[in-house]
Structure 1
Amino acid sequence: MTSTLALSAAHPGAPFTTVTIERRDLRPDDVLIDVKYAGICHSDIHQVNEDWGPAIFPMVPGHEITGLVVAVGDAVTTFTVGDRVGVGCYVDSCGSCESCVRGEEQMCLNTPVATYNGREYDGTPTYGGYSRSIVVKEHFVVSIPDSMDLAAAAPLLCAGMTVYSPLARFGAADKNIAIIGMGGLGHVAVKIAHAMGATVTVLSQSLSKQDDGIAFGADQYYATNDPETFKKLALSFDFVLNTVSADLPLDDYLGTLKIDGAFINVGFPAEPYRFHAASIVMHQRSIVGSNVGGLAATQQMLDFCAWHNIAAEIELIGVDEITEAYEKVAASTVRYRAVIDIANTLVA
């Protein structure tokens, strides 16, 4: 076992404290990573506050991780010491079920192992990237292209993959699409959709981020608090990608879809959606969900973003700023993703 510093919450809602945790010794197929940066995902806040049900404490969050390889197991062939790498939402899966075989480890039928607030198959709790080092099975490590800044790349491991997956699956190229929200996920979605060749409209509560949205590649930007917006956009879009976790008037958004259009959801609203069946039946519309992608797709996303010079817009913070950062993320005032400088600020 190897000792490493980490930021840990002792119980639901507890402040973070610096502790020492143990990482396992390298197995033949393991990679030891010196963590440089860890993104703050809104799900980190939900997990620490135990909003989604019973969680495992003490908790070390973080599933948007970038760093450098410092050691590899004897059987590792993909990575060598010094490589720039990343780790996302999962660190293991069964490898043999239908989902794993087709490269969708995130939907492992035998339950994938979450990077934190999860358990290894032997029952050991997992601790995430708010730590100086992490040991991960080779298959669940991805390469960060040399052209990408490690800090700005970190949010792509969750936020980037969360939006890239449906944009690729539904074929954004040459489509007229809308993106709901211009936050941590939405701003990356605008960049990726634009690079894929879509005509992109942002639907946001107000026009406060309009200039940013246009700069990121949006063709149009509408405020949903304007009652005329949904009238103007009726029957406009091939699909709508919802990146927010708010309770939405779903019938209004469904009305912006063309015949056979799809409302794609990646957010987790607190309350169940409510809508009238006519909103989907009369125009053969669909409401679908989308998960993050598997490891091959995650590498594809990173390579695509590197090729098109896409990265998250970040606020780089130190470990002493996490409480404030959590408040900003919860209030949707961070522009646009908070990233912890682990290497330089998590020190004894």
Structure 2
Amino acid sequence: MATKAYGAYAADKLLEPIGITRREPGPSDVQIDIAFCGVCHSDLHTVRSEWAGTLYPCVPGHEIVGKVSAVGAGVARFEVGDTVGVGCMVDSCQHCAACGEGLEQFCENGFTGTYNAPTPDTPGHTLGGYSQRIVVDEKFVLRIGHAPEQLAAVAPLLCAGITTYSPLRHWKVGPGKRVGIVGIGGLGHMGIKLAHAMGAHVVAFTTSESKRQDALDLGADEVVVSRDAEAMAARTGSLDFILDTVAASHDLDALTALLKRDGTLCLVGVPEHAHPSPDVSGLIFGRKAIAGSLIGGIAETQEMLDFCAEKGIVSEIELIPVEGIDRAYDRMLKSDVKYRFVIDNSSLG
């Protein structure tokens, strides 16, 4: 079916209105009329070919919230009118060990991304949420339990939310744990909210003194300006777990020094250039670990959404019309957003 979208035809072109075709819903498909789509830094990297392999035309967007407008004959979990979401994946092989364990993000044959991934559908690669509607297999559709007035701010949970929730859950963050959150941006502000809601003592780390009050308001118990050597030294060996959300190359040794014995530093940001090689002696003599984490599986993403609905957690957003996306990208590069842009998809109409 013909669908209005917004995307780019080349890396050096601004995003513009694009007419795309969505498949008619098959037996297991859910058709979603998109109300809101969050703007992820991955969108910018992909549409501007800062990561290799961008397929054009490129329609980004993998933080999708909307209403079910049609379902296939075999769909049992959703009905027309349901409020639902779609995150970073729309398919996976469904038969490897990872998929069998509900870890589709680690599919051994490669998951199908919501945009820029091979698909039988026209034009041969997936097209994302900067569009009026999307058709997705029901296995990759998520139920949204938040109030209607919160839905725009729910959209970033589909990426920023699960990217921070998954490692916090995996490393058993909760009461009695001291947890560091590095970076107070789109990911970091969600990390603070979630770790606080899980009952941990939260220490936020930022390079900017101006973000101190924001971090406290988000739920941090302490805020450390990482350029303050004395403040950093005072917290040596004090943290059980650190979630590092910074996507720029930086010194990891300064962070591993903050870990207790058996502590873990988990990275969720992919830098443009590699981090300086860490000093392994600091790891060896404290049995410490540097790890990574990638979004979350579908079951865990649903768990995250239910947790956030119960706790009243949403992202801090700025709602924009779709024609403002290039300006939003430029502002993202300057960190000029608190803390996520979300597209009002009604502006596509």
Give the TM-score normalised by the residue count of structure 1. 0.97
CA distance in 2, matches of 1:323, 1:113: 26
SS of equivalent residue, structure 1 residue 156: helix
CA distance in 1, matches of 2:137, 2:46: 23
CA deviation profile, 1:157-198 (whole Å, cap 9, x unmatched)? 000000000000001102101000110011111011001010
CA distance in 2, matches of 1:169, 1:249: 24
- Please say if 1:151 is aligned against 2:152: yes
Structure 1 window deviating more from structure 2 (191-200 vs 146-155): it is: 146-155
Give the counterpart of 2:242 among 216, 240, 243: 240
Residue in 2 aligned with 1:107? 106
CA distance in 1, matches of 2:81, 2:124: 28
CA distance in 2, matches of 1:127, 1:164: 26
CA deviation profile, 1:190-226 (whole Å, cap 9, x unmatched)? 0110010100000000221111111111000011121
- Please say if 1:277 is aligned against 2:280: yes
Answer whether contact 2:130 2:322 (CA < 8 A) is retained.
no
SS of equivalent residue, structure 2 residue 30: strand
Structure 1 window deviating more from structure 2 (34-43 vs 221-230): it is: 221-230
Shift of 1:121: 6.1
SS of equivalent residue, structure 1 residue 208: helix
1:285-304 residue pairs with structure 2 within 5 A? 285-304=288-307
1:87-102 residue pairs with structure 2 within 5 A? 87-102=86-101
CA distance in 2, matches of 1:247, 1:203: 16
CA distance in 1, matches of 2:174, 2:66: 32
Answer whether contact 1:207 1:221 (CA < 8 A) is retained.
no
SS of equivalent residue, structure 1 residue 37: strand
Residue in 2 aligned with 1:132? 132
Please give the root-mean-square deviation of Cα atoms over the aligned residues, in Å: 1.2
Residue in 1 aligned with 2:265? 263
- The residue type equivalent to 1:189 in the other structure is G
SS of equivalent residue, structure 2 residue 329: helix
- The residue type equivalent to 1:284 in the other structure is R
- The residue type equivalent to 2:156 in the other structure is P
- Please say if 1:307 is aligned against 2:306: no
CA distance in 1, matches of 2:58, 2:171: 36
CA deviation profile, 1:56-88 (whole Å, cap 9, x unmatched)? 111000000000000000000000000000000
Residue in 2 aligned with 1:5? 4
Answer whether contact 1:106 1:294 (CA < 8 A) is retained.
yes
Residue in 2 aligned with 1:65? 64
Would you say how many aligned residue pairs link Structure 1 and Structure 2? 345
Shift of 1:285: 0.6
SS of equivalent residue, structure 2 residue 202: strand
> CA 1:89–1:275 in 2, change beyond 3 Å: closer, same or farther?
same
CA distance in 2, matches of 1:178, 1:321: 34
CA distance in 1, matches of 2:178, 2:146: 33
CA distance in 2, matches of 1:212, 1:164: 20
CA deviation profile, 1:267-301 (whole Å, cap 9, x unmatched)? 00122222111121111110000011111100100
CA distance in 1, matches of 2:14, 2:237: 47
Give the counterpart of 1:217 among 216, 219, 229: 219
- Please say if 1:188 is aligned against 2:187: no
Answer whether contact 1:7 1:19 (CA < 8 A) is retained.
yes
Structure 1 window deviating more from structure 2 (136-145 vs 122-131): it is: 122-131
CA distance in 2, matches of 1:170, 1:207: 29
SS of equivalent residue, structure 2 residue 74: coil
CA distance in 1, matches of 2:295, 2:70: 28
- The residue type equivalent to 1:138 in the other structure is E
Residue in 2 aligned with 1:167? 168
SS of equivalent residue, structure 1 residue 228: helix
Give the TM-score normalised by the residue count of structure 2. 0.97
Residue in 2 aligned with 1:26? 25
Shift of 1:324: 1.4
Shift of 1:135: 0.4
Residue in 2 aligned with 1:84? 83
CA distance in 1, matches of 2:112, 2:94: 11
Spell out structure 1 runs of 4+ moving beyond 4 A: none
Unaligned runs of 5+ in 2: none
SS of equivalent residue, structure 2 residue 229: coil
CA distance in 1, matches of 2:67, 2:162: 21
Unaligned runs of 5+ in 1: none
